[in-house]
């Protein structure tokens, strides 16, 4: 790997290369749900309910981060909070490279 941990800081080595393995966002959302299912004993048929509850949990934060137009666009996307997390994760990974 091109990274070393040194005294609590991440230092990049010279001539290091980064390889990104990108998962399908739908696979990532389903994997997160299945993980929650293991932890809390949910059933596979509760996926839609899990998405709605997840969106309710993030609704207040979305008011802070997104304007009304963007929030309106997000309303039609099931589990949109999970897709936002997916995009943010890869954005941060690209910034580190």
pLDDT averaged over consecutive 10-residue blocks of the chain (97 residues)?
Answer: 48 63 81 80 76 84 87 84 84 78
Q: What is the DSSP string of 58-92?
A: HHHHHHHHS-HHHHHHHTTSTTHHHHHHHHHHHHH
Listed as own residue / partner, the contacts of 56-64 with beta carbons closer than 8 Å and 24 or more positions apart are 57/81
pTM: 0.61
pLDDT of residue 50: 81
Cα–Cα distance, 93 to 96 (Å, whole number): 5
The predicted structure's pLDDT at residue 25 = 81
Q: Which helix (H) or strand (E) holds 26?
A: helix 25-40
Q: Which residues contact 27 (CB under 8 A, 6 or more apart)?
A: none
CA distance 94 to 75: 27
């Amino acid at each position: 790997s091109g990274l070393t941990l040194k005294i609590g800081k991440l230092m990049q080595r010279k001539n290091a290369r980064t390889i990104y393995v990108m998962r399908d966002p739908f696979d990532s959302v389903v994997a997160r749900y299945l993980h929650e299912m293991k932890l809390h004993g949910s059933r596979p048929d509760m996926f839609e309910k899990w998405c709605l509850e997840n969106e309710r949990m993030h609704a207040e934060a979305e008011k802070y981060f997104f304007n009304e137009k963007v929030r309106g666009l997000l309303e039609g996307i099931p589990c949109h909070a999970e897709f936002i997390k997916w995009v943010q994760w890869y954005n941060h990974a690209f910034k580190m490279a």
